[in-house]
Amino acid sequence: MPIKVLVVDDSAVVRNILARELASDPDIDVVDTAPDPYIAREQIAKFKPDVITLDIEMPRMDGITFLRKLMKHYPMPVIVVSSLTQKGSDLAMEALYQGAVDVMCKPGRAYTVGDMTMSLIEKIKAAARVRVEDLGAINDQLLHSKNNLSLTRTTNKVVAMGASTGGTQALEYILTSLPPNSPGILIVQHMPERFTKSFASRLNDLCKLDVREACDGDRIVPGTALLAPGNKHMVLRRSGATYYVEVKDGPLVKRQRPSVEVLFSSVAKYAGANAIGVILTGMGSDGADGMFKMKQNGAVNIAQDEESCVVFGMPSEAIKLDAVDNVLPLVEIPEAVLRHA
């Protein structure tokens, strides 16, 4: 059965583009479009869609308010499709914490229609497999499982993390659990540009670590977590005993930019046995091959287990390659990182 999708956006142009492009995939059935949440509410009752794409800056009722009501009364997978503005990015981050499964930016400077459609179709297919009720249960468990961990001395280990669908909550849990002298951390979360800056800022406000969007040449030091900027690849480099990052353009790798594959492969090359790899919830296989290279070069690798994942894609692929040393529930990963450090 095709996945039934409802497109909600106040722009007729965007509604038409998304409906036309999504309908080109035989596995997707765009049941209707809606210009605002009030009409969307009627269409949800009529068509019972499997997934909704939702703009968040709309008249009559904003998308965040609608999302809260939806998650309370009729929970279902929602993908936010937002404008590439600072306000749009901040609201998209808020939407993720109100129950949205994933975020996308509208076609424009960052995405051509073709690139955006390809990515949105993949996100819809992943979202259709998400049980929103289970997502709520996972978030409740994380809320009541906060760790207060410590590290007796600093270490020069490098921790590389990769995540996609569901990764914002997973990364928040891990990073807020870690002490301020944790090893330096590099993170790729599949997310558009500007959205990553909002996400890094939110994490920095919550964590004991210094969390920021990476800039070209940033050094990896204890107590700092660097997040790959959206639409840029981030790679590890080494000069003598100093690790630093290179932030660069490049083609999509595993259909992603930033790509976990690119980061993990560079960590395998330049950090080897001095690295710890962590692969978290997400769709697809990005990072699996790179994690296998890390293991071959002596790194210790951790994968999130299926029960705590929103989408058990990326960890599953790494496990199939025998690239993983430990498969753990999310609540045990922060302690495992420190233990291996």
Residues labelled catalytic: 164, 190, 286
Which among 276, 321, 319 is positioned nearest to 294, based on CA atoms?
A: 276
Three-class DSSP category at 90: helix
Diameter over CA atoms, the chain: 64
Q: Write down the number of H helices and E strands in the chain.
A: 12, 14
- Is residue 282 within 8 Å of 167, Cβ to Cβ? yes
Q: What are phi and psi of 134, to 5 degrees?
A: -65, -40
Q: In the 3-class helix/strand/coil scheme, how is 147-168 assigned residue by residue? A: CCCCCCCCCCCEEEEEECCCHH
DSSP 4: E
Pairing between β-strand 242-248 and β-strand 233-239 as defined by DSSP bridges: antiparallel
Helix (H) or strand (E) holding 119: helix 113-127
Q: What are phi and psi of 24, to 5 degrees?
A: -70, -15
Which among 313, 314, 263, 315 is positioned nearest to 293, based on CA atoms?
A: 263
Three-class DSSP category at 15: helix
Phi-psi region of 60 (alpha: psi -120 to 50; beta: other; left: phi over 0): left
Three-class DSSP category at 55: coil
Helix (H) or strand (E) holding 242: strand 242-248
DSSP states of 77-89: -EEEEE-SSHHHH
Q: What is the dihedral of CA 286, 235, 114, 102, to 10 degrees?
A: 60
